[in-house]
Structure 1
């Protein structure tokens, strides 16, 4: 997919950025990862997905949106058994997000959307967003992943009982956003059924809503779940285009949202009489 780069902050000069204040009220902060994606996909898969989706959303809403440089390394400790994976701690990533959004805030942005292409970043992003809301009461800030906003589409397209990393769903997305990410002849079936998992892995998947994280070298000898061989360009197009449409719809509404004003009323403190 080819996109217009004029919405990228890093491609603009400071006078151009200063002139954006009234036209581009929203800044998107894309987050990625550098981690193993099985034998058939590149380490930068999550980074590229986040960057491309952010670009296309910004193009769709032009000139209302700017996009910051992508953060290319995320929280990937659970993939560190596989060579080449890089990781930040959750504490470091949430601090990076906080300071990057603080920079945007100091330049006048009051509406920010954090888009993560890697689910391992979620906890750090949630902490960063909570801190930012407390530190900047007049900031409208939201965040999401990519696959999570199209869970209904994923349910319709998925072929594996167990999936979520380098499966047919993520591989399809990679094929669409950047075909060079995928080496079709190297794609393999990973842990695709509950029977493929060890007892701890099975338990981690058996109780929805309960989090029992497992390292990926325990979950899969190849590092991927699902069956990447079932991926298709058509499925990737449907997933990504739907995600773009839904995120763009939300951000269009966010752009029209009135500015948030700090509350004039301090929280009430009730003191018991002694």
Structure 2
């Protein structure tokens, strides 16, 4: 594992890997309310697992380092429900830029952001763009659900609820698979007021309403169809898709370098 975990290396080892063209992956997550039944660390639990599994698989094919996960993101739209830790969008943009600048200072020329919380998504993409404008480097950014959309559809993930949704069947299934003891099953109900306009546009589009950006009462759909078995299936599909994407990104960057 030491080969691909950033924090296990010395400064000399990291500098050498950066100089040799290794790719750095930065996982982004959140600490925020997830309804009455899931822990506030839900996004971080899921993102942390997926990042480790995906990089572990990708490391068989490419030189890649997994940086420590950022467990607090931009979650301003969750603050009114309690339990949430958040940076404002302006602050988060500065944090991600500083993270990228640190990696550039360390010598990295291939930087990838991997996201596990919806509120981080636009800021992450802006950061990747800004870094590539300022420095002669390669950047990439994606949320795990964007990369794995087809694989999740093939596994009929929508059967449990909105994908990825927020604290609905999909995320509940994932936490049941990873940390079942943290799910308050007695708080799970079989029905929930849904907002059909959430995620109703094409991929990449946004529609929102004040006070309901994450659905009624802070979550999008009833989680009662979730099971640990389904969660395991979805997580395996996502980690495989993300691993394939990381390999593709690295090879595209390498091909681009060789063509210059």
Instruction: Specify if TM > 0.5.
Output: yes
More helix as a share of residues: 2
CA distance in 2, matches of 1:239, 1:254: 22
Could you tell me which runs of 5 or more consecutive residues in structure 1 were left unpaired when the two chains were aligned: 265-274
The answer on whether the counterparts of 1:173 and 1:240 sit within 8 Å (CA) in structure 2 is yes
Residue of structure 1 in register with 2:125 after alignment: 126
1:233 correspondence with 2:228: yes
Asked if structure 1 preserves the Cα contact closer than 8 Å seen for 2:31 and 2:85, the reply is yes
Quick one: structure 1 residues 203 and 157, their matched pair in 2 at CA, closer, same or farther if it must change by over 3 Å?
Answer: closer
Identify unmatched segments of 5+ residues in structure 2: none
Contact kept, 8 Å, 1:90 with 1:123, in 2: the verdict is: no
Cα deviation, residue 162, structure 1: 5.5
TM-score normalised according to structure 2 size: 0.83
Residue 18 of structure 2 contacts residue 109 of structure 2 at CA under 8 Å; is this kept in 1?
no
The structure-2 alpha-carbon separation of the partners of 1:244 and 1:204, relative to structure 1 and needing over 3 Å to count, comes to: closer
Q: CA separation of 1:154/1:26 partners in 2, compared to 1, >3 Å: closer, same or farther?
A: same
Checking the alignment, whether the CA contact within 8 Å between 1:189 and 1:225 is kept in structure 2 is no
Residues 58 and 211 of structure 1: CA distance in aligned 2, closer, same or farther (over 3 Å): closer
Paired residues of 2:161 and 2:170 also in contact (CA < 8 A)? no
Instruction: Name the SS for the 1:70 alignment partner.
Output: coil
Equivalence map 1:139-158=2 (5 Å): 139-155=137-153, 156-158=156-158
Larger radius of gyration: 1
Query: Who is 2:111 aligned against?
Result: 112
Report deviation, 1:45.
Answer: 0.9
Question: What residue in structure 2 maps to residue 244 of structure 1?
Answer: 239
Check conservation: 1:9, 1:67, Cα contact below 8 A.
yes
1:202 to partner: Cα distance: 4.9
Question: Against the structure 1 CA distance between its residues 18 and 93, is the aligned structure 2 distance closer, same or farther, given a 3 Å change threshold?
Answer: same
